[in-house]
Amino acid sequence: MNMVAKHAIWPRENDIIFGIAGKAAEAVKKFGKEDVINSTIGALMDDDGNLITMKSVFEQFRALPDAEISAYAGLAGQPDFLEAVKENCFREYQPDAFIQAVATPGGTGSIKHAVWNYTNPGDQVLTSDWYWAPYDTITEEIDRSIKTYKLFNDKNEFNIESFKENFNELVKKQKRVLSIINTPAHNPTGYSLTDDDWKQVLDVMKAAAKDKENRISLFVDVAYIDFAGKADEKRKFFKQFSNLPENVFVMVGFSMSKGFTMYGFRSGAIIGISSSEDLVEEFKYACIHSGRANWSNGNRGAMATMTAINNNPEILEKYSKEKDMYKNMLQDRAAAFVEAAEEVDLELLPYRDGFFVSIPCDDPVKYSDKLMEKNVFVVPLKMGLRFAVCAVSEEKCRKAPALIKEALSEKQTSENIA
Amino acid sequence: MNMVAKHAIWPRENDIIFGIAGKAAEAVKKFGKEDVINSTIGALMDDDGNLITMKSVFEQFRALPDAEISAYAGLAGQPDFLEAVKENCFREYQPDAFIQAVATPGGTGSIKHAVWNYTNPGDQVLTSDWYWAPYDTITEEIDRSIKTYKLFNDKNEFNIESFKENFNELVKKQKRVLSIINTPAHNPTGYSLTDDDWKQVLDVMKAAAKDKENRISLFVDVAYIDFAGKADEKRKFFKQFSNLPENVFVMVGFSMSKGFTMYGFRSGAIIGISSSEDLVEEFKYACIHSGRANWSNGNRGAMATMTAINNNPEILEKYSKEKDMYKNMLQDRAAAFVEAAEEVDLELLPYRDGFFVSIPCDDPVKYSDKLMEKNVFVVPLKMGLRFAVCAVSEEKCRKAPALIKEALSEKQTSENIA
């Protein structure tokens, strides 16, 4: 017997990452943290395995009066916060277009808004074959599903051919197509689309937009943008969203989780970009309605914190310096991992930026289990293993590739035993 | 031309309360706050019109280390928080049943979970004719709608006859019926179902449950419970949720917004209650899936605050005393308003507890406008005016009824002019 409606019956499974993280914690207790590599956590950790929280951020947060944290925020988000979001997201690369932002609980809320409001029940949403698993949860919850294109071609470059083929197939079938592109610093591969990749993606979309009946929408998930590239170079692509055809609607999912180390606050925004003022207004009211119907309004204290940082050049400078220090730390760790992988000839997907590196392999659960025996904890994906350089010291990042290579090479042996 | 899907096109309207609150702020600037009665705000304000924030709560919140606020919470919510939610919600009246809780962003998130998971597209959800307007937003967003029964009979008692008639009609039509009851301290009327009202409601549900094909679910919105009655007397009804038939599934929407003056944190939970262990497990996994698909996880710092208060008897005592002080303040204000209304013969709906009092009238927008001319700011509802005693000093609560009576009596005059 069920009491929930049919669409609400789901497998009673617990989060796989949570389970592996639990085993990693046990291993630390048993063997000591020096001998355990726990690369399961999707947050920036210091070399001792403690969560990094930015001083410049928490100083501003703690300076807020109680009433500024306690009060309800407006349904769309506080107006000064929404301005700060736009400035913080685009910096000097704000597209030449009409732009509106609406507050959401983290990046997830912004993805939900895009999928709910820009697709119909039964629709497929396009993303790459390496993707963040909750895209499945978000779409299947509301009777949508994920269709994938191959992220990389044989040369490990962005596979524009596969994107084009699958995108055009969907346009033909649905007329209305939402594509989700997680870049820069893609989770889980660490790939960042180049400005030229972007040009090609938008050319495909513009070609489809020539049929005025088509409705092309694009959601760019930039959750990790603050840890990508040098300075703001990985924001340049935003400029390409200028002067697009009216039936190409672009949304950017902005999150305070990583860039401000405010994961647990649940604060972010969805930004709508269009050549049409009317269409960004339509976007705003659709998102306000969805927000009211899902979570009412956003975290007031988080909004006020970001506004305080963004609107004071001195504080902004302090924050940027602290963030860049951690960005450099992350880049050093990733460089160590990539270099060590080359030395032992471990195949990686083309890492450019961000929290994660991916190792393609068959039967990822088997190798994840095998690595646990070596006290290396990684997350098994559908097509490989995810190693979180954000959570592991540079020293351990240098050690890990050899251990992973070793585990992957044990293939025959263990199959013989089985 | 539209870019959003058809179901996402909504009227481009701004919140009516926000507009009136803006006019109240202008009036304060022009005439001084002594001469303005602003009863639009749905939060506890001191006599000077400042938001009340509980010291005992913010002390605990501010004592948390940065990392405890910054980290992601688990998808279902932190386990110790979920235990604290159950204890805090039920106190000594925990029903004899299987119980599971899942964290949500405020009370709104819990309503969304109940409506989404326990009804089908096209279904009507039953609530009283006086109801919180966002129930419309939440249901219409996902192709459900609200059906109402009359809350009061001619004697201004709970209208069990109307409830029974409309409930049975829906059961016959849909087989699956979700009822939402906002009590104690109903928004907007301030009514609280008596223990006998509850017995009658549950008798109607149990009768319908005799047909084992029927799926009866009940959502109790207790957002204002911490400000209702003396001590925990308004929690007694929870005991009636013991040993219900398996096809009567009860959910309670718990919110930290009012009881902890943490409105802007967006923290709450949905609690599932059933005679069947399997059905509360089904509930839990449905809500975790929905949570992951909408907002991912909840506000970690708010969870930790409530756990810290709940799990330390000394701190809990301090918090309870502070909360009771404000509860007494609220009850004094409401008593002053009700008494003054009797003196001038102003008809009120039967107020028992909580933040709001309602005055039934035709053409509420007209009278709200008229009251603005007298510097009295109220919220016009479909069938009357809502006065927020939570936001107005006792002195002004004593003055307001005469001004409202005056405005309502000007009916003929203004119609003559028009």
First CA to last CA distance, chain B: 40
- Buried-state track B213-230, b at ≥16 Cβ within 10 A, e below 16: ebbbbbbbbbbbbbbbbe
Distance CA B247, CA B282 (A): 13
Both tokens assigned to A386: 């995810």
Please tell me whether residues B324 and B383 are part of one structural domain. Answer: yes
Judge if ipTM > 0.90: yes
Instruction: Please indicate if any CB of chain A lies within 8 Å of the CB of B109.
Output: yes
Interchain proximity A53–B62, CB inside 8 Å: no
DSSP H or E segment with residue B218 = strand B215-221
Q: Is residue B109 situated within a structural domain? A: yes
Please tell me whether residues A354 and A216 are part of one structural domain. Answer: no
Residues of B in contact with A75 (CB under 8 A): 15
Q: Is residue B175 situated within a structural domain? A: yes
CA angle B301, B307, B312 (to 5 degrees): 135
Place of tokens 């999707």: A42
- Per-residue pLDDT tens over the stretch A264-313: 999 999 999 999 999 999 999 999 999 999 999 999 999 999 999 999 99
Please tell me whether residues A129 and A250 are part of one structural domain. Answer: yes
Residues of B in contact with A265 (CB under 8 A): 69-70, 299-301
Q: Is residue A56 situated within a structural domain? A: no
Interchain proximity A264–B142, CB inside 8 Å: no
Both tokens assigned to A284: 């705003």
Please tell me whether residues B352 and B245 are part of one structural domain. Answer: no
Which residues make beta-bridge pairs with B45? B51
- Report the pLDDT averaged over residues B160-183: 98
The pLDDT of residue A418: 44
- Report the pLDDT averaged over residues B329-341: 98
Smallest Cβ–Cβ distance between A290 and the set B9, B141, B292 belongs to B141
The pLDDT of residue A18: 81
Distance CA A220, CA B293 (A): 18
Please tell me whether residues A122 and A259 are part of one structural domain. Answer: yes
Please tell me whether residues B170 and B94 are part of one structural domain. Answer: yes
Indicate the SS3 state at residue B215.
strand
Please tell me whether residues A210 and A297 are part of one structural domain. Answer: yes
The pLDDT of residue A19: 87
Domain boundary among A284, A313, A342: A313
Q: Is residue B378 situated within a structural domain? A: yes
Q: Is residue A68 situated within a structural domain? A: no
Instruction: Please indicate if any CB of chain A lies within 8 Å of the CB of B63.
Output: no
Q: Are A134 and A108 spatial neighbours (Cβ–Cβ below 8 Å)? A: yes
Distance CA B23, CA B368 (A): 12
At B347, which CATH number? 3.90.1150.10
Domain boundary among A268, A283, A313: A313
Q: Is residue B45 situated within a structural domain? A: yes
Distance CA A61, CA A285 (A): 29
- Report the pLDDT averaged over residues B322-327: 98
CA distances from A121 to A107, A291, B42, B342 (A): 22, 19, 36, 54
At B259, which CATH number? 3.40.640.10
Whether cis (ω within 30° of 0) applies to the bond prior to B79 is no
- Total number of domains in chain B: 2
- For chain A, give the mean pLDDT: 96
More confident residue, B413 or A119: A119
pLDDT confidence of B418, banded at 50, 70, 90?
very low
Q: Is residue A404 situated within a structural domain? A: no
Q: What count of other Cβ atoms lies within 10 Å of the Cβ of residue A339?
A: 12
Distance CA A23, CA A29 (A): 10
Instruction: Please indicate if any CB of chain B lies within 8 Å of the CB of A49.
Output: no
Q: Is residue A42 situated within a structural domain? A: yes
Smallest Cβ–Cβ distance between A282 and the set B2, B142, B264 belongs to B2
- The closest alpha carbon to A60, from A52, A51, A69, belongs to A69
The percent of residues in chain B predicted with pLDDT above 70, rounded, is 98
What phi and psi, each to the nearest 5 degrees, are found at residue B177? -130, 125
Please tell me whether residues A142 and A178 are part of one structural domain. Answer: yes
Give the type of residue at B34: E
Q: Are B241 and B273 spatial neighbours (Cβ–Cβ below 8 Å)? A: yes
User: Helix H segments across A34-105?
Assistant: 55-63, 66-70, 79-90
Domain boundary among B294, B313, B332: B313
Strand residues in A285-378 grouped as ranges (E) = 356-360, 376-377
Please tell me whether residues B233 and B366 are part of one structural domain. Answer: no
Instruction: Please indicate if any CB of chain A lies within 8 Å of the CB of B79.
Output: no
Which residues make beta-bridge pairs with A217? A178, A249
Please tell me whether residues B258 and B376 are part of one structural domain. Answer: no
First CA to last CA distance, chain A: 40
Tally the residues of chain B.
Answer: 418
Alpha carbon of residue B53 to chain centroid: 19
Q: Are A109 and A217 spatial neighbours (Cβ–Cβ below 8 Å)? A: no
Please name the residues in contact with B386: beta carbons below 8 A apart, sequence gap of 6 or more.
Answer: B39, B188, B356, B357, B358, B378, B379, B380
Distance CA A334, CA A354 (A): 8
Both tokens assigned to B416: 């003559």
Instruction: Please indicate if any CB of chain A lies within 8 Å of the CB of B326.
Output: no
Please tell me whether residues A296 and A211 are part of one structural domain. Answer: yes
Give the global pTM.
0.97
Alpha carbon of residue A407 to chain centroid: 28
- For chain B, give the mean pLDDT: 96
Domain of residue B149, residue span: 73-313
- The closest alpha carbon to A291, from A137, A113, A140, A139, belongs to A113
- Per-residue pLDDT tens over the stretch A89-99: 999 999 999 99
Instruction: Please indicate if any CB of chain B lies within 8 Å of the CB of A45.
Output: no
Instruction: Please indicate if any CB of chain A lies within 8 Å of the CB of B292.
Output: yes
DSSP assignment letter at B158? B
- Per-residue pLDDT tens over the stretch B362-378: 999 999 999 999 999 99
- Per-residue pLDDT tens over the stretch B4-49: 999 999 999 887 888 898 899 999 999 999 999 999 999 999 999 9
Please tell me whether residues B322 and B303 are part of one structural domain. Answer: no
Smallest Cβ–Cβ distance between A137 and the set B50, B51, B293 belongs to B293
- The closest alpha carbon to A269, from A112, A417, A47, belongs to A112
